[in-house]
Amino acid sequence: MGSTAWADTPIATAAPTQITPDPPASTSRTLAPASFPPSWDLDGFHIWLGPIAAASHAAATWDSTFGADLTILRVRERATVGVLGGSLGASRWTERGGGRIWLDAVVGTRIAGWMAGATAGPILELSDFEHPRVGGSVGLWAFVGITPFVRAGVVGELGGFVELGVHLALPVWRR
């Protein structure tokens, strides 16, 4: 009879727990401690996202708005222009329906130990029953943990408005 291929194969002689060739010896790795920037140093780029609430006087009546805005800033606390960036936000009227979308340039400086500044930009006033109206506004703000603000502007046929509110800036990203 002829031989089969498996019969001609040499039988393994190594112990069943032995690995040939031996794997390289493992070395323990030590991770360096994390190096977070100090929390008191706010210099850098920031993205904030947070709720906004305001009381507005427009068209001879008071109404309130609630919404959110996204703010992207460059902060340099010791520079003359300590804050420079932009803000995109939207809010909804509580009584008259519709809402508002804005895009503001933001600039700020340190005043009496606090960061304060101004905003300016276009507004798009939205309505549940009318076409959108274009306008613009300027505002003042101060960062004191929360960000109170006052804004004044003009929107199409609606005319002038004044708004007093507060924004809660929640950090999303910092570099």
Is 1 a member of any domain? no
Q: Give the total number of structural domains in the chain.
A: 1
What percentage of the chain reaches a pLDDT higher than 70? 88
- Please report the pLDDT score of residue 147 as a whole number: 94
- Please report the pLDDT score of residue 172 as a whole number: 92
Is 109 a member of any domain? yes
Averaged pLDDT, 66-93: 96
> Could you tell me the CATH number of the domain that includes residue 131?
2.40.160.20
Q: Which domain holds residue 66?
A: 44-174
Q: How far apart are CA 123 and CA 57, in angstroms?
A: 16
Is 60 a member of any domain? yes
Q: How far apart are CA 107 and CA 150, in angstroms?
A: 15
- Are 90 and 103 a contacting pair, CB within 8 Å? no
Enter the pTM of the model. 0.75
pLDDT tens digits, one per residue of 115-128: 999 999 999 999 98
Is 22 a member of any domain? no
Sequence-ordered list of residues with C-beta below 8 angstroms from that of 32, at least 6 positions apart, any chain = none
- Please report the pLDDT score of residue 33 as a whole number: 82
- Whether residue 160 has pLDDT greater than 60: yes
- Which amino acid belongs to residue 148? P
Q: How far apart are CA 75 and CA 165, in angstroms?
A: 23
- Whether residue 96 has pLDDT greater than 90: no
- Please report the pLDDT score of residue 13 as a whole number: 62
Is 13 a member of any domain? no
pLDDT tens digits, one per residue of 1-51: 555 555 565 565 656 676 667 767 777 778 788 777 777 788 999 999 999
Is 111 a member of any domain? yes
Contacts of 60-65 with CB under 8 Å at 24 or more apart are 61/95, 61/96, 63/93, 63/94, 63/95, 63/96, 64/93, 64/94, 64/95, 65/91, 65/92, 65/93, 65/94, 65/99, 65/100, 65/163, 65/165
Is 27 a member of any domain? no
